Amino acid sequence: MKRRTKIAAVSLTAALLITAGSAGAAVASGGGAAGPAMAAHPHQREAAALTGTAKLYRSAGDDITFSFDAHLAAADTKDPTKATGTFRFSHYLNGRGAWAEASVDCLLTGGKVAVVSGVITDSDLPGAKGTRVGVSVHDLGRHDRLGYSWAAVGNPADVKDLPKCVASAPFEKVKPGTGDFHVVPWHPAL
């Protein structure tokens, strides 16, 4: 009988801890069960997101890095052009190259794929400031893939009149061991 009481006490304690953890997650995600994020996805604090950093694989040894911190708030779930954040990219080979940072103006995600666009706000690449660029990511764990709007023209400064949330397919492979992109899928209320 004593053993049965201990098992019941341990089970009750575990159940209480799980319940407390769930309640804490609900509060963190938008203010409880009635919060906007809670309506469709109980553990999601935002409608969509793309975060993380990775280096692209190039056999010639190019140092190409992309970093993302893009978010769409749960309150803006019906308008992906209200996304906020930044993304940064750089490309160097033999000590020569350039970098750029863009302010996010659109974020669309579906499953493990994201497309983000933004206007370049800072860069050492001549002619790049003020240009809209787009990047796509396929979140495959440690084997992520990436694409970018200037794939066909070769230079982000040469992309002209790109609409929001447009990029090429994620055709590039990330360098082994560097893929840590994370996509939060968008679930628009239809």
Convert the pLDDT of each residue in 51-84 to its tens digit. Answer: 999 999 999 999 999 999 999 999 999 999 999 9
Torsions phi, psi of 156, nearest 5?
Answer: -60, -30
Report d(CA 141, CA 177) in Å as an integer: 10
Mean pLDDT (the chain) is 82
Convert the pLDDT of each residue in 96-107 to its tens digit. Answer: 999 999 999 999
pLDDT of residue 190: 62
Report d(CA 101, CA 119) in Å as an integer: 8
**Helix extents (H) in 32-183:** 36-40
- Kindly report the pTM of this predicted structure: 0.76
Torsions phi, psi of 129, nearest 5?
Answer: -55, 135
Higher model confidence: residue 8 or residue 116? 116
- Residues 89/117, Cβ–Cβ less than 8 Å: no
